[in-house]
Amino acid sequence: MTMTSACRNLDTQPAAHAADRRKWTVAEAEALFELPFMDLVFRAQQVHREHFDPNAVQRSTLLSIKTGGCSEDCSYCSQSARYRTGLDRQQLMAVAEVVEKAKAAKAKGASRFCMGAAWKGPKEREMETVLAMVREVKALGMETCVTLGMLKGEQAQQLKDAGLDYYNHNVDTAPEYYDKVITTHTLADRLDTLDQVRNAGINVCSGGIIGMGEGRSGRAGLLVQLANMDRPPESVPINNLVAIPGTPLADAEKLDPFEFVRTIAAARIMMPGSFVRLSAGREQMSDEMQALCFMAGANSIFYGDRLLTTDNPEADRDETLFARLGLRPI
Ligand code: SAM
Ligand code: DTB
Ligand code: SF4
């Protein structure tokens, strides 16, 4: 496909989530990446303005409620028990402690609280504790999100009944690249969990990581997979790999920052109605690069000084950046 036809198709992009929403091919997505940077960002900003307030950014605060010792072998992850990353393992936190952290996040201005556990999937006893966390954080008047690994249908329903708003479960990379990064579970397993989440009526948060050596076709393939879902995820985190010493991806070649911005822009164009989250890797980004990401259509961030096991910009730095850019929290 030529660049011109990619642009023409964008002009006819129907409203998000419409039944006749167009499906993307990898070649079409790649054609977006090939556009001159200014054209791509301009298109993305146009699409963004058609669907969202361009000066409003949603903020989620993350908390690792159970850290390390995970059975899985995800090549990027500090929490896999298979790699020596020097991480201190921590058991599932107490509900009261989690609620205190959520209150602090709310006081700082986060609208959503996202609780992450280093599990392949939760066991029954662990579910009871997580359900209590969801109920209590919801009662604070915050949106709730959890990421617990693979779920059975019944567990998804329990989470819904407890008041869960979002479930995060990333497809992580292009289908062709998945088994180069993870071998202990399959992409089909991940998609099955996403189905359980959808069927339970929970909002889907699903995205991936770039900068793992996937190449442009891999980045295009990741976005196509997300955009072509029967309903694209409501929230799409785009993570820049945080290279963790001791993991197989410790020495991955750094992605060109403009390629990261291009990925955000392509995500915005391909999923016009979704929140696109500028996720892991912000600590390593300049303010100018973050501003480019917002211009390219990112409208959500992780907010607070920690992600799960690595650093994120201090809330004060983000507040200053928001003020300098005239951005408002949602
Ligand atoms: N165990 C659960 C799972 O795998 O879904 C939840 C936690 S897991 C850490 C959540 C997501 O964080 C991963 O799917 C991955 O996309 C992202 N992530 C983990 N480590 C990362 C890293 N070093 N750099 C960027 N993103 C990372
Ligand atoms: C997502 O896509 N990114 C977040 C959240 N979902 C759970 C996690 C990022 C983790 C970055 C590395 C770390 O702090 O361990
Ligand atoms: Fe475990 Fe999730 Fe890390 Fe994979 S990404 S090793 S499943 S915590």
Q: Give percent above pLDDT 90 in the chain.
A: 93
Q: Is the confidence at residue 11, as pLDDT, over 80?
A: no
Q: Quick count: other Cβ atoms within 10 Å of Cβ 316?
A: 10
Q: Is the confidence at residue 16, as pLDDT, over 90?
A: no
User: Is 267 in a helix, a strand, or coil?
Assistant: helix
Q: What is the pLDDT of residues 254-282, one digit of tens each?
A: 999 999 999 999 999 999 999 999 999 99
Nearest residue to 48 (alpha-carbon basis) of 292, 231, 287: 292
| Ligand 3 mean position, distance from CA 105 (Å) | 24
Mean pLDDT confidence for 28-33: 98
| Ligand 1 mean position, distance from CA 134 (Å) | 20
Q: What is the pLDDT of residue 15?
A: 44
What residue numbers does the annotated binding site for [2Fe-2S] cluster cover? Answer: 114, 145, 205, 277
Q: What is the pLDDT of residues 117-169, one digit of tens each?
A: 999 999 999 999 999 999 999 999 999 999 999 999 999 999 999 999 999 99
Q: Is the confidence at residue 171, as pLDDT, over 70?
A: yes
| Residue nearest (by alpha carbon) to ligand 1 atom 22 | 242
Residues with CB under 6 A from ligand 2: 62, 78, 116, 147, 168, 170, 207, 237, 239, 242, 279-280, 307-310
C-alpha pair distances (Å), 162 with each of 5, 154, 197, 246: 47, 12, 14, 37
User: Is 50 in a helix, a strand, or coil?
Assistant: helix
Q: What is the pLDDT of residue 22?
A: 79
